[in-house]
Amino acid sequence: MKVKFLGLRTGILFPFLLLFLFNSCKKDEVTLVLTPEQKWGSEVYTAMQNIYLWSDALPAKFDASKYKTADNALEYLSGLKINPTTGLAIDRYSFLDKIGNLTGEITQGTASGDYGFMVGAAYNSSNQVSFFVNYVYKNSPAGLAGVVRSLEIVSINGSSAVHPDVDSQGYLVSTSAGYTNMVNALFSSTSASFGFKKTDGTSFTTSLNVATYSINSVLCDSVYTVGTKKVGYVVFNQFLGASSQTELASTIDKFQADGVKYLIVDLRYNGGGSVETCEQFSSMLAPVSADAKTMYTVKMNAALTKYYAGENFTTNFTKTNTFEPTELYFIVGSGTASASELLVNNLRPYYPNKLFLIGGTTYGKPCGFWTTPIGYTADQTTAKEGYDLYAVSFESVNANNEGGYYAGMTPGTATYPGVIANDAYNLAWGDVNDFRLSQALNHISTGAFKAPSTLSKVKQVSITPSMSIDRQFKGMIDFRKHLK
């Protein structure tokens, strides 16, 4: 689909131009000088008038001089559409990014400026709140140093002040030393020393420097035999471009060769990414009977919908393999967002009573972005200044017209069958004692989930959205569609 600017009639401008010239002869006009940031803020408003899903909430006029930065302007504009259910702004997604930063990470599969691991908070065996390693990219500085999921962080730069305080409501205190030491080391330093404690009680210390590295989106894949049933388990952490598509195809081919009929897809930390990769993964997992049938349909703002009346906004499944699971299990949590949720929603109509969610409520993002240049043009050959704008541009619904999961997908509900289960930060990927994985395996074995109360041994700690430790991108971007 090619998207064009809405046409504007220019013939009416001439009389007003004469009027302006006449008036300017009678008195001096004050010319408002905008800073570069304010000009970019004005461009943000203009772009959102065209592509923003909730353009009906935008003001008829916008004074960019009131906002110091383009970010300030976007913060105001994206806060105008209110969710009548919550009374809060519905858009917690739109953002500005450095030119080419996110595009490079997702399309090229590379990351830069970090150590390559992320952490989560939970109580340790001594009933202290600690940070545990959630996931690691194998080619990153952390991965090459032997850092793996399940390690507990026991020191940072030689300091043992690594245990954050928790308030009376169970949330981390962002001003406590344990919290600030972790955040500063992870996000505000180019090098740091970390002490890690293994599950066997031994420890090691390693110094890490931030670097540029290739991202592996498949963190683990295993095949289990449950009675006579072959079960495939894959941890998929990010919807990148071609690299993810290659990894996923290889993994699914392996499962098919091993006779896998039950599939567990672990998306607990997958914040989304490329819509195109999501489409391919959806087709890999869809039953053969879904080929050429509706995967999802895009909804846009009223002006664009009218402008493109008659065009097709439905994407169909394109089945290129014969892999067809008997049952599908998705491990999810608050870090599961956007393209990950789209994957689940795409497949729901084609696996009635055969698709289950295990874990916690997902992030809640049934909408996505087109990339819009601010302050520069895509074909510009001179030095570029400005931003990439990711303003919510579309919302998707599946073949049953189901979508709108802004409050997230909650396992164990009528809409999303499954079960609530805690994360297990202190266990390696694929460990059958992982509460979430064990629930899937038990259901495959017995046809039922275990009572959640019998599984929870590690007490997790909540982090308010404004204090989030996990800074991974949460969204879905269709790089194939943009304003021209």
441: in domain:
yes
> Which residues are within 8 A (CB) of 243 and not within 5 positions of it... i.e. 6 or more apart?
109, 214, 215, 216, 217
193/162 same-domain check:
yes
17-26, 269-278, 285-294, range with greatest mean pLDDT: 285-294
CA–CA dist 140, 395 (Å, integer): 34
Q: How confident is the model at residue 85 (pLDDT cuts 50, 70, 90)?
A: confident
Clarify whether residues 287 and 193 are in a common domain.
no
> Is there a single domain that holds both residue 174 and residue 294?
no
For residues 299 and 253, state if they share a domain.
yes
Give the integer Cα–Cα distance in Å for 356 and 267.
Answer: 13
Domain with residue 199: its CATH number is 2.30.42.10
390-448 residue pLDDT tens: 999 999 999 999 999 999 999 999 999 999 999 998 899 999 999 999 999 999 999 99
H or E segment to which residue 183 belongs = helix 177-187
In percent, the amount of the chain with pLDDT more than 70 equals 86
Q: Domain range holding 299?
A: 218-366+400-452
pTM over 0.95: no
Residues 247/241, Cβ–Cβ less than 8 Å? no
Q: Tell whether 5 is covered by a domain.
A: no
Nearest by Cα to 405 from 321, 316, 338: 338
Same domain, 406 and 341: yes
Please tell me the total count of domains within the chain.
2
Q: Return the bridge partners of 273, or none.
A: 239, 476
- 198 and 249 within one domain: no
* 230 and 209 within one domain: no
Give the model confidence (pLDDT) of 153-206 as tens digits.
Answer: 999 999 999 999 988 887 888 899 999 999 999 999 999 999 999 999 999 999
Looking at the structure, do residues 200 and 324 belong to the same domain, yes or no?
A: no
Look at residue 430 and tell me if it is in a domain.
yes
Task: Answer whether residue 111 shows pLDDT above 80.
Answer: yes
CATH number for 319: 3.90.226.10
